[in-house]
Structures are given as structure tokens and as C-alpha cells.
Amino acid sequence: MRSGLGGVDSVLLIGGSSEIGVAIIEAMAPRQRIVLAGRPSGELDAAAARLATLAPRVDTVDFDALDLDSHGRTLAGIFGDGDIDVVVIAAGVLGDQTVFETDPRAAIEMTRVTYTGAASAALHGAALLRRQGHGHLVILSSVAADRPRPANFVYGSAKSGLDALGRGLSQALTGTGVDVTVVRPGFVRTRMTRGLTEAPLSTDADVVAAITARAVRKRQRIAYAPAPLKYVMGVIKALPEPIFRRLPLS
Amino acid sequence: MRTSLTGWGRSTHSVADVVPVNDTGEVVELVQSAPERGILARGMGRSYGDAASNGGGIVIDTAALNDVTVDGTTVRVGAGVVLADLIDELLRRGLFVPVTPGTSQVTVAGLVATDVHGKNHHVDGSWGHHVTSIDIVDGTGALRTLTPDDADPDDFWASVAGMGLTGVITSVTFTAIEVPSAHMRVTTTPFRDLDDLMQAMREADRGARYSVAWIDSVGLTGPLGRGIMSTAEHAAAPVHGAHAAPKPRARPSIPDIVPSGVLSRLSVGAFNEMWWRVSGRPRTDAIESIGSYFHPLDGVADWNRIYGRAGMVQYQFVVPDDASEVIGIALNRLRDAHAPSFLTVLKRFGPGNRAPLSFPMPGWTLALDLPAGNPRLPATLADLDSIVLDAGGRHYLAKDAHMDADAVRRGYPRLGEWRMVRDRMDPRGVFHSDLDRRLALRAPADR
Ligand SMILES: Cc1cc2nc3c(=O)[nH]c(=O)nc-3n(C[C@H](O)[C@H](O)[C@H](O)COP(=O)(O)OP(=O)(O)OC[C@H]3O[C@@H](n4cnc5c(N)ncnc54)[C@H](O)[C@@H]3O)c2cc1C
Ligand SMILES: NC(=O)c1ccc[n+]([C@@H]2O[C@H](COP(=O)([O-])OP(=O)(O)OC[C@H]3O[C@@H](n4cnc5c(N)ncnc54)[C@H](OP(=O)(O)O)[C@@H]3O)[C@@H](O)[C@H]2O)c1
């Protein structure tokens, strides 16, 4: 149960090795239980080790975003072991836009994780939170969801879908005790973006994490990270297409 | 009906099915068909945190269990009887409740389930001392009568301060006190210094039946910790021209949406300053109605809304006499954290009772209303928790919304004993609350 001061007891991270996800858990500092759901790997074990001293119980659970049939069972098992206060959906892949344009199958393969798998986990998580009558769902979207641009519109399309799902859930869950926050980070320096040229307003995982933790405490529906992106994206979304095209964003 | 529930502090939220019951039979049926997330009884929801909530489960509304029978000083009431109504009823017969909290908008079962204390704890103890029997539907669906000494005393004492987790209390029998009037004789004395105030309160232990102090937690123009001691007795003769019972008034109300920032340190400071000036005038044997003496805040409906969307937490702890310095430390720490307390109340406690989860123990109890949105509060209260626990003190579950499982385990050394009785009374695990989950009250003592 969350405390009256916004303290969190338990967090489930879907995409258990995600650098942003692990930083979010550190920022929330759950007092009782952490569950990292992900594909077994050295990264997943390392994430568990890094969080080991934070809470009395830190578990890893096998979870593959592509194995849709297993999602219901896996999440129900985790909730069956005790309430979960916050579910963070961080599983996603960025992929390579240049490849996507020549290999549509690779593009769809990316969306099967970044949209389909993440959406499936979000819907199962939402249903379980609703049953327990309290809790918070955090969905990692992206500024790429805000307006498609040549550099990453395939990934952006998957995040747009997930973003819409999150905002829709947020409304649909009104009155159920469950809140939803859609987080839209800009360029974050993690292994996902390693080797790529940094975009303006680049940031780090701990900044995204602090903003996310605060947004959850304040029950905000949408949060940008870093915060000024809210205004930047506000402007970018409002730009007429001919001007937008001439921006050096690709 | 699926309903979003919160405590009086409005800082914790969950959604449950609220089911009104009309009689004991309906309670038994609910217990027998309990859903996986369980059942919990709720009274008026005046506990500050998540004690009366049960996210995803059933919450029983006991308002219809409202019979009252009076025989001499023996009073038998349904669980849902509201204290304000009961007091009216009793005063008409020259009787009064043995113990009352600072609000009359509570149910009698709520008073028993949290073992409420009043301004007379140092003389009369808490509610549990005055209950002669309770009827309770336990986790097997059996309706049982429990008493403090003969009929399953362990189950009785586990249910007093049992936070609704041993069963649904359906009726309570207690001994009322006889009072000569519906008025109080009140003496107020201001002190500019916390030490002097505490010394005077220690001395008042022997003389005064009711005793309490309000403390200025901000000290806008005076020292932090200046305070006003108020002692009282029931006024002897009926007061000329006074009503037998306080009449309900139209109550001013705080609007639903108040921006979180309204309660700044300055405005709380101004309130504390005003209180000091208005109530701080020395008075001796002033006559006040029972209502205005015991339940002054009941005059303002929904005053808890003033804390805005983030709500408030009430932080109430007790420390033994040999750790009285913790009171001053707590006031200083909270001032340093810029966490102004609207209302700060200091009381003396006498001996506790046999209930393993009962809060009072001999010593000092301090209660502070704090804005939950203050970002420094979690760290400050965590520090204070350790100081209180290291001093052998503990925190009040009926007010709590922030503690962790460890703090309960340390503060309530008889938790293990209570768990054993609870498991016996509720072998299938029917009764649950959000507080129960947050504080892992059911889990084995050492994980
Ligand atoms: C302004 C104010 C002043 C207060 N002053 C004091 C004070 O001076 N001293 C003090 O001790 N407390 C004080 N309190 C706290 C209050 O007295 C307790 O929280 C009391 O339990 C509230 O009663 P309720 O009917 O609202 O119970 P709720 O808040 O609805 O429930 C409290 C607990 O009792 C259980 N419960 C309720 N009904 C039943 C039942 N039928 N069977 C089994 N369990 C049940 C619930 O499950 C829950 O755990 C104050 C509260 C306020 C708002
Ligand atoms: N970094 C950025 O600039 C940025 C910006 C905006 C949004 N985001 C979003 O933020 C989230 C976290 O990203 P990050 O920066 O923390 O990168 P990350 O460390 O690479 O995290 C991505 C996570 O997705 C998991 N994942 C990938 N495929 C999976 C599958 N089939 N099944 C289960 N899990 C799978 C990865 O697990 P494995 O270890 O098993 O691969 C990893 O835990 C992602 O949704 C990302 O799209 C990132």
C-alpha cells in the first residue's frame, strides 16, 4: 500500500533490466518488494543485484514481451504474491530506422515488442490493479510519440499507439482507484541510445526517474523528461508541416 | 457499490465495494461468502489513514446497526451508533460516555476497535477499560459474545484496538458515567515555555479529571512550544439557562477544492497566533457546554479539506515519562522541516490496558496535523519514528498513514501474541484492510 505521504511499498518493472526502469525504482525506493520481470540475462541479474539493498524482497521473474500468451499468468502470479503499488512498463526496443525502411519485417518485429508486448502487459497490469482497488500504472512512451519525423517514425508509431493506450486507460480507470502516468522522455543516455548522436535536451535515466516518481506522487497523467520538453514539444506539435519539414530533426 | 474511500486525512485512497448491512444475519452471510480481497467494517471513517479501507474488497457500512438500550448505567448500543447521538441520549438521563475523542462524529464500534483515549486517560483509561462485553462476528461466521474476563478474554482484548481485523463488532455494552450537568468547568492557563507547561501537566495528573494542552508549533511571535493547558471537571449543578444537550447548528463548511498551497507556514502560523491570543487568556472555572469543550472542531464541517489535494497526515506518538525530551525534539524537527502543524495537542497518559495493540502507555502523547504534500515530511517523520521507537514509544494506528512494518513491530512488542489470536479468530483470512497490508500485520513477526 502506498503511504499517505506518497511512499511506495512495492514496484513491478516490466522490462526488468531497463536502465530507466531501474532508476525509477531507485527514485521510488519501495519499502517492501521489488519485482523485475524480464528475459533472463546478465543485465537482469545485475539490475537485481543493484537494487538488492533497497527493499527486503527483490525478485526476478521470467517475462518475454513476445510471448503474449504467458502475460496474464505471469502477472497474475506476481500479484497473487502480494499487492503491487506501481507497475512500470519499460520493455521496448528502438531498432534502426534505416533498416526498417528497407526491411518492413524488421519494423514489425520491433513493434511487436514496443507496442504489442508493452500494450499487452499494460492491459493485464491495469486489470490486476483495478481488482486490488488501488495502484499506479506508469507507461514509458517517448517524445517520438508526439509528432512523426523521418529519423524514427516507425518506432514513433509504436510509441504513439502505446501513448494513446495509456491516455485511454487513464480515463477508463477513473474511479477505480488506479491512476496512470504516461512518461514521454526525450533522448536519454542509456544502452538503448548508445552510439547515437545526442539530440538537444539530452538527459540521463536518473532525471527521467525523478520526474516519474514525482508525477506518480502527484498523480499526473502525462510527464515530459526533461521537463522543458513539454513546452518544446508543444511548439513542435503546433508547427505547420512546411516549417516542420525544414527543421534539422531527421 | 464500488466507492472510493479515504481516511479523515484524505491522503490515502482505494476503491472497495461498500455494502450496508441491516442486521447481524447479513454480516454473517457476508463473512461466509467473503471474496478473495476480504471484508472490513467501517464506521464514520474518522481514522486519519487507511485503517477503515479495504481496496478491492468489501467494506461493511454499519450505520443501520443503531439500537440503543440504557439500563441504569449499563448501555448497550449497536456498532454503528454515532457518538454525537449517543451523547444526546445519555445526557438526557444524566449520563455521559466514560471516554470521548476530540470528535463526536465516530461510531461506538470504531471507538472500541481503536481503543480510543480521551482527555481523561490519566484517570479513566481508554475505551477498552469501560466495555463489559461485545458481540462480534468472527472469521468463521460465528456470532460470539466476548467479555474482558470470562468469555474468551484473549479474543476480547485482541478485538479491542483490533482495527477491525478480528471480526465485525455488531454491538457494544459499556458502563456510562453519571454527570450532574451537561456542562464543564474549564480552567485554562497559558505557558510561554514547554518545560513549564509539561511540569504543570504532570502536577495536574493528580488534580484534574480532564487535562490537555494545545501547543503553538510555529511560534510566529513567541517561542516554539508555548502552550495552553486546559483542565476540566464536570460542572456540578445544572447551569442556569443552559440547554440540556448541545443543539445541532448549521455548520459552516470548507469547499471541496482548496489549492494545496493554502496552508503555508505563514497562514498556519497566523492560525496558531490567533489561537494563542483567543484561547490563551487565563480563565478559571469557566462554564462550557460538553459539546464545545470536547468537540470544538465538530462546529466546522469538513475542516480536513483545508489541506487541499495532497491531504494531511496526523502524526501521533507516545513516549514514556523518562523520554519527555522527545516532545521538544519532535517540535523542533518539524519546524526545521517547515512542516507547520495546524493543531498540535499534548496529553498525559496513565496506565494502558490488556489489549496487545492498544496505543496508550504511561507518559506523553503528542499529535500533530501535518500537510502530506510537504516533500521533506517523509525523511523527517522517518527520523522521528526512530527517535520515538528508540525511546520505547510507539505510534497510533488509528491516525497512521506513513509508518512501515518495522515501526509497528518495534512499537508493539505484543504483536506476535495478537497475531496468534487473530489467526485463531479468522483462520481463513477473511478480514483485511489497507493498513493491514501496508504494515504487514498478518505476516509472521520475523520475516
Ligand atoms: C477530529 C478528530 C479528533 C480525534 N480525536 C481523537 C482522540 O482524542 N483520541 C483518540 O483516541 N482518537 C481520536 N480520533 C480518532 C478516532 O476517534 C478513531 O479513529 C475512531 O476509530 C474513529 O471512529 P470511526 O467510527 O470513524 O471509525 P473508522 O475510522 O470508520 O474505523 C476505525 C477502525 O475501526 C474499525 N471498525 C469500525 N467499525 C467496526 C466494527 N463494527 N467492527 C470492527 N471494527 C470496526 C475499522 O475497521 C477501522 O480499523 C480523532 C479523530 C478525528 C477526526
Ligand atoms: N533511452 C531513451 O532515449 C528513451 C527515450 C524515450 C523512451 N524510452 C523508452 O524507455 C523504455 C526503457 O528504455 P531504456 O532507455 O531503459 O533502455 P533499455 O535499458 O534498453 O530498456 C529496454 C528494456 O526492454 C526490454 N526488452 C526488449 N525486448 C524485450 C522482450 N522481447 N521481452 C521483454 N523485455 C524486452 C529490455 O530487456 P533485455 O535486457 O532482455 O533486452 C530492457 O529491459 C523503453 O520503452 C524505451 O523505448 C527510452
Other CB atoms within 10 Å distance of the CB of residue A238? 9
ipTM: 0.92
- Rounded to an integer, the average pLDDT of B374-402 is 96
Q: How far is residue B117's CA from residue B133's CA, in Å, rounded to a whole number?
A: 18
| DSSP state at residue B188 | E
Q: How far is residue B109's CA from residue A154's CA, in Å, rounded to a whole number?
A: 61
Collect all residues with Cβ–Cβ distance below 8 Å to B38 and sequence separation of at least 6. Answer: B54, B57, B58, B429, B430, B431, B432
Looking at the DSSP bridge assignments, the partners of residue B349 are: B363
Collect all residues with Cβ–Cβ distance below 8 Å to A118 and sequence separation of at least 6. Answer: A14, A65, A89, A91, A92, A139, A162
In order of start, what are the domains of chain A with their CATH numbers? 10-246 (3.40.50.720)
What residue ranges do the domains of chain B occupy? 68-179, 183-405
Say which range, B40-54, B76-90, B367-381, has the weakest mean pLDDT: B367-381
Tell me if B317 sits within 8 A of B359, measured CB to CB.
no
The answer, yes or no, to whether any atom of ligand 1 lies below 6 A from the CB of B45, is yes
Signed CA dihedral, A184, A189, A193, A196: sign only: positive
Q: What is the pLDDT of residue B434?
A: 98
Strands A86-89 and A135-140 come out as parallel
In this structure, the residues whose C-beta lies within 6 A of any atom of ligand 2 are A 15, 17-21, 38-39, 41, 43, 63-66, 90-93, 113, 140, 142, 185, 187-188, 190-193
Say which range, A84-88, B171-175, B241-245, has the weakest mean pLDDT: B241-245
HSE at residue B2, side-chain half, CA atoms within 13 A, is: 14
Burial of A199 (0-12, 13-18, 19+ CB in 10 A): middle
Tens digits of residue pLDDT in A147-171: 888 999 999 999 999 999 999 999 9
- Rounded to an integer, the average pLDDT of B2-15 is 96
Q: Does B205 score more than 60 pLDDT?
A: yes
CA distances from A144 to A149, A152, A242 (A): 8, 7, 19
Residue of A nearest to B312 (CA): A4
Q: Which residue numbers of B have CB closer than 8 Å to A's CBs?
A: 2, 4, 7, 9, 11-16, 37, 48-50, 54-57, 311, 313, 372, 377-378, 381, 401-405, 434-435, 437-438, 440, 447
The C-alpha angle B241, B245, B247, rounded to 5 degrees, equals 95
CATH topology of domain B68-179: 3.30.465
Burial of B427 (0-12, 13-18, 19+ CB in 10 A): exposed
Tens digits of residue pLDDT in B97-150: 999 999 999 999 999 999 999 999 999 999 999 999 999 999 999 999 999 999
Q: How far is residue B154's CA from residue B171's CA, in Å, rounded to a whole number?
A: 18
**A140-154 as b/e: b if 16+ CB within 10 A:** bbbbbbbbebeebbb
CATH topology of domain B183-405: Vanillyl-alcohol Oxidase; Chain A, domain 3 (3.40.462)
Please give the grid coordinates belonging to residue B97.
460516555
Q: What is the pLDDT of residue B243?
A: 44
